[in-house]
């Protein structure tokens, strides 16, 4: 088990954290409504516990209960909380603006993501995804294990990078681990991460999505089983555009930096047209990096030099 994760899951199952679990669940399914029984089932709560939590959240306005259908959704009180969060993290709104602009220009999909407590969180999206293997709804999360979040992890300290690669010990063979370690300076030097299309990568992406009520250990086990198959090095991360020839590009991702020089979020470009030549792929990537750099500039961030 990954160090610290057992304690994390134990803490998260504490009764005092049940309201947080409910809000996180509803945020990941913001367009849907759920009955009390469904919430109890998805979050592994007793009906009595679920009733107490939902009553408290409804009274506070954080959850809304439909008067006729008796189903629950996010409440209006969270609008103020969300706006306050956007004021605190203006880069998210600016990234959404840039993603909308690029989506209109390039007609490809974009997502804004951030790593929060070992989870890869979708903060915003533009464009309709071709598949729903990965994150499609704002608020959905993936487990951060290789190579999920590699474009953000590449800017962490060497010790943090080693710990990140260690999380994939159950499914990364030594050659793939060395390949990923070699891609870290390449990601920092060129300013973005990129991966080739492949069935194995799609399976890994799907396996790492954290479903309601699912523990990190369960997700890691599923990813390990998936990763034990044939996933090529270029699906984990490409060193050169030529590796995408005949396969296509799964994603290109560029980081946004905070005033402290840390990665605060990432803009991910996906659903690229099939058959793009090298020059076109380089043009798409350059526009993505320019957009990410613009967000960094507007939040007075500092783009560090590759170390």
C-alpha span between 6 and 121 (Å, rounded): 20
Q: Where are the domains of the chain?
A: 5-80, 89-298
Of the ranges 32-46, 225-239, 245-259, 285-299, which one carries the lowest mean pLDDT score?
225-239
Domain 5-80 in this protein, CATH class: mainly alpha
263: tokens are 């990665």
Kind and range of the H or E run holding 178? helix 174-190
What pLDDT is recorded for position 7? 36
Q: Which of these, 219, 108, 236, lies nearest to 183 by C-alpha position?
A: 236
89-298: CATH topology: Beta-Lactamase (3.30.450)
- Tokens 């199952």 belong to 13
Assess whether pLDDT exceeds 60 at residue 15: yes
The residue-averaged pLDDT of 4-28 equals 63
Distance CA 64, CA 54 (A): 9
pLDDT digits (tens, 9 = 90+) for 156-165: 999 999 999 9
Q: Does 5-80 match 89-298 in CATH topology?
A: no
């Amino acid at each position: 088990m990954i160090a610290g994760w057992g304690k994390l899951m134990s803490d998260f199952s504490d009764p005092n954290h049940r309201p947080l679990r409910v809000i996180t669940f509803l945020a990941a399914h913001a367009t849907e409504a759920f009955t009390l029984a469904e919430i109890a089932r998805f979050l592994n709560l007793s009906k009595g516990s679920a009733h107490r939590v939902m009553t408290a959240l409804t009274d506070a306005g954080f959850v809304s209960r439909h008067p006729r259908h008796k189903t629950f959704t996010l409440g209006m009180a969270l609008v103020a909380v969300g706006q306050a969060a956007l004021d605190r993290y203006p880069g998210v709104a600016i990234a959404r603006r840039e993603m909308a602009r690029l989506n209109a220009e390039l007609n490809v999909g974009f997502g804004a993501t951030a790593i929060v407590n070992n989870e890869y969180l979708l903060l915003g999206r533009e464009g309709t995804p071709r598949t729903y293997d990965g994150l499609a709804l704002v608020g959905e999360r993936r487990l951060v294990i290789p190579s999920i979040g590699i474009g953000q992890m590449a800017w962490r300290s060497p010790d943090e990078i080693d710990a990140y690669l260690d999380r994939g010990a159950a499914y990364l063979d030594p050659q793939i681990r060395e390949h990923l370690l070699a891609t870290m300076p390449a990601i920092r030097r060129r300013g973005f991460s990129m991966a080739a299309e492949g069935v194995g990568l799609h399976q890994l992406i799907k396996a790492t999505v954290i479903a309601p009520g699912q523990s990190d250990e369960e997700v890691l086990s599923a990813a390990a089983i998936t990763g034990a198959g044939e996933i090529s090095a270029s699906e984990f991360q490409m060193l050169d555009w030529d590796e995408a020839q005949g396969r296509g590009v799964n994603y290109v991702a560029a980081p946004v930096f905070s005033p402290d020089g840390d990665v605060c979020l990432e803009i991910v470009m996906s659903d690229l047209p099939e058959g793009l030549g090298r020059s076109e792929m380089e043009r798409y990537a350059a526009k993505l990096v320019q957009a990410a750099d613009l967000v960094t500039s507007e939040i007075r961030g500092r783009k560090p030099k590759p170390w």
